[in-house]
Structure 1
């Protein structure tokens, strides 16, 4: 299966480099490019890509605003942030807004190729340098309205098995890894993940991972 990709970045030289890198792979195809958010949303609607590589720092419509429009108009597309920004606030906003991953532009070529394939499979991808910032940011924040009555209320909403799977998702495990860990069929894991997303009103596995940190549903949570 060919993964169809849209590049949205205001630097033409960077787009050229990424295009040359990804097009060397037989299963990856660059279907369109855009130099700003407005054009990016237009191209996305026109080509319906599987994966969208999106820069955050662009003139005009910001990367985060573009992300929100993309998630709204193309919920099945996996938006992967590829930026120079290592700001924890932007990371948190991007994940809350529906990004499936967050990478820094200094990433190695092979790692970027692997990341595109992973987000297309539905797996969360976050740069190693940003993971600690993500955890620190959410642990430092007071619970917002979404937290309701706190972690206990969230545990009541999820079944014991669903809580186990949320913990696995927070570790970035794939459905296959979760199935092996819990000794269940991979199809069963898929059904549980769908139920978790529906119950928590979330749209991606990355958002589930963020949710787990915010609500204390991590390793050792009872």
Structure 2
């Protein structure tokens, strides 16, 4: 299956490098490029790509604002943030806005290719160093300012809590299935149930929720 990709980044040289890298893979097709968020949104509407590589720091309409519009107008399109920002706040806002992944621009080419494949398969990707920063930020803040609703937390089964912890570590469905001795289809069903119970839209939002509300140690706050 060919993965149709749209690039949105204000640096033309960077877009060229990414395009040349991805064009070496026959299952990737670069269907369009945009130098700003407004043009990127127009192309996303017109081209309906499978995945968008989006920069956060752009003049005019910011990457975050662009992301918020894209998740509303192109909900079936995955968005991978590719940025220089190592700010945990940027990561948190991007995930809450619906990003499917967050990688830094110093990512290795092979790692980027692997990330695109995983996101296209329904997984979520966050750079390891950024996950650590996000967890540390929440710990320094003492977790959420307000505890999660008790009913939502208590509806999670023990198995679902185990899967949530795997999601926080950024594990793929295949790895979760292997570590918990489950089938991948069973893992997918559990994740769907978790999303429904917590009223969230993506596995990354589950990871953020888990860190924010103290679900990592099996002893939720509240």
Displacement of 1:144: 4.0
Displacement of 1:154: 4.1
2:53 alignment partner in structure 1? 53
Q: Secondary structure, in 3 states, of the residue corresponding to 1:217?
A: coil
Residues 1:7 and 2:4 are matched in the alignment:
no
CA distance in 2, matches of 1:175, 1:125: 12
Displacement of 1:97: 0.9
1:221 alignment partner in structure 2? 218
Q: Deviations over 1:67-124 (max 9, x none)?
A: 1111111122111111111111111111111111111111111111111111112222
User: Where does 1:169-208 land on structure 2 (aligned, <5 Å)?
Assistant: 169-208=167-206
Residues 1:143 and 2:144 are matched in the alignment:
yes
1:41 alignment partner in structure 2? 41
Please report the TM-score for the alignment, with normalisation by the length of structure 1. 0.92
Displacement of 1:131: 2.0
CA distance in 1, matches of 2:153, 2:199: 15
CA distance in 2, matches of 1:30, 1:180: 33
CA distance in 2, matches of 1:174, 1:104: 19
Displacement of 1:176: 1.7
Contact 1:154–1:215 under 8 Å retained in 2: no
Mean Cα deviation higher: 164-173 or 12-21: 164-173
CA distance in 1, matches of 2:185, 2:194: 14
CA distance in 2, matches of 1:68, 1:30: 22
CA distance in 2, matches of 1:137, 1:96: 15
CA distance in 2, matches of 1:70, 1:108: 26
Contact 2:23–2:30 under 8 Å retained in 1: yes
Displacement of 1:134: 0.9
Contact 2:152–2:197 under 8 Å retained in 1: no
CA distance in 2, matches of 1:203, 1:23: 31
Unaligned runs of 5+ in 2: none
Displacement of 1:214: 1.0
CA distance in 2, matches of 1:86, 1:118: 22
CA distance in 2, matches of 1:103, 1:80: 7
Please report the TM-score for the alignment, with normalisation by the length of structure 2. 0.92
Contact 2:6–2:52 under 8 Å retained in 1: yes
Contact 2:52–2:77 under 8 Å retained in 1: yes
